[in-house]
Amino acid sequence: MLKQHAAPTSLAEAIRYFADPDRALAFVVTLRWPSGVTCPRCEADKPSFVGSRRIWKCRSCRRQFSIKVGTIFEDSPLGLDKWLPALWLLANSKNGISSYELGRALGVTQKTAWFMLGRIRLAMQSKSFQKMIGVVEIDESFIGGKRGNMHKAKQRRVAPKKGTVHMQGVLGMLERKRSDKHSTVRLAHIKTTRKTELGPHIEAGVEKGASIYTDKHPTYRRLSEVKWHDDYAHAAVDHAIKYVDGQVHTNGMENFWSLLKRSIKGTYVSVDPFHLFRYLDEQAFRFNERTENDLGRFVHVLKNILGKRLTYAELISADMAPATT
């Protein structure tokens, strides 16, 4: 039998655990303020706690604040008893969870669930600037449904011209497993596969001296001849002939593309181009944290909620720039 305050290890335990508002609050407070609660506005310590409302009042600036201030939960009327199970579900569902399914599970509208998922994906976004080393596989893929299967209104908005020009490009970089670290990926939503776009992404994400393995796409050949000659050891495999040439292959990235497309096609069905980078953040997070258990992934996301407020107006804006994961 679990101890009364033992951290949950499964979804069923998490739902029961966070159903208690005081326990849910204490759990998030411990992660956000491990050294004690401080005012998010003036950073003064030891604020007074108003237990009836589960908020604090700063003794210095006299402002009131809740655990949600400055996080992805800010201004949300929903309690932690709904937010935390939602975060658990998205962090640990291998193929994601749709807003319709989440809405039914939590007893909220589909629109509310979609907004919640958008905020949680922001917390999944990696801000690591550590470059990849060792052996790095690089490949590109294209996301998007067939134009003929789209509603006429969506055709006019997303795919006004026939062909595949509406497909969205994604650049993937996978650092292969080393003795002390499992393989990890970094993704970028790209507009073209020209060297002027791929080159900066690769140079920003891969440490000089690394070995880069790609397919025979002309862009990689041009980059190797013009810019990578002294910086990287580049080798390519021609997929028209074979997929593996000794250690030279991109099978790791191909496996990841399979996971990504299965998630989009099977769970989300349709993803608008200006939201694609959010789904890339989600899938890359779960892949990179796959060796963690459910509680570990949940805590990892929960630690990243600070300073990532997302309003509904920002979420639906097509002007939001794609992010590199």
2 confidence band (pLDDT: 50, 70, 90): very low
Q: Kindly report the average pLDDT of the chain as a whole number.
A: 90
> Beta 48-50 vs 55-57: how paired, if at all?
antiparallel
Instruction: Work out how many domains the chain is built from and give that number.
Output: 2
163 confidence band (pLDDT: 50, 70, 90): low
Instruction: Look at residue 184 and tell me if it is in a domain.
Output: yes
Q: Could you tell me if 68 and 82 are in contact, meaning their C-beta atoms sit under 8 angstroms apart? A: no
pTM over 0.85? The answer is yes
Instruction: Look at residue 163 and tell me if it is in a domain.
Output: yes
Is a pLDDT exceeding 80 seen at residue 56?
Answer: yes
**Residues 262 and 324 both lie in one domain:** no
Owning domain of residue 98:
1-32+68-125+275-325
Instruction: Look at residue 202 and tell me if it is in a domain.
Output: yes
Q: CB neighbours of 193 closer than 8 A, spacing ≥ 6? A: 140, 169, 217, 219
Instruction: Look at residue 293 and tell me if it is in a domain.
Output: yes
Give 271-312 pLDDT, tens digit per residue.
Answer: 888 899 999 999 999 999 999 999 999 999 999 999 999 999
Instruction: Look at residue 235 and tell me if it is in a domain.
Output: yes
In sequence order, the β-bridge partners of residue 248 are 245
**Residues 230 and 313 both lie in one domain:** no
Percent of the chain at pLDDT exceeding 70:
94
Give 137-148 pLDDT, tens digit per residue.
Answer: 999 999 977 777
**Residues 261 and 303 both lie in one domain:** no
Could you tell me which of 291, 276, 281, 215 has the C-alpha nearest to residue 249?
Answer: 215
**Residues 19 and 90 both lie in one domain:** yes
Instruction: Look at residue 207 and tell me if it is in a domain.
Output: yes
Question: Lowest mean pLDDT: which of 16-30, 36-50, 159-173?
Answer: 159-173
Burial class (CB in 10 A: 0-12, 13-18, 19+), 320: middle
**CATH code of residue 228:** 3.30.420
**Cα–Cα distance between 99 and 275 in angstroms, integer?**
14
Q: Could you tell me if 74 and 80 are in contact, meaning their C-beta atoms sit under 8 angstroms apart? A: no
- Tokens standing for 292? 């963690």
Please give the average per-residue pLDDT across 87-106, as a whole number. Answer: 96
**Residues 281 and 215 both lie in one domain:** no
**Cα–Cα distance between 84 and 15 in angstroms, integer?**
8
**Cα–Cα distance between 193 and 302 in angstroms, integer?**
35
Please give the average per-residue pLDDT across 152-172, as a whole number. Answer: 77
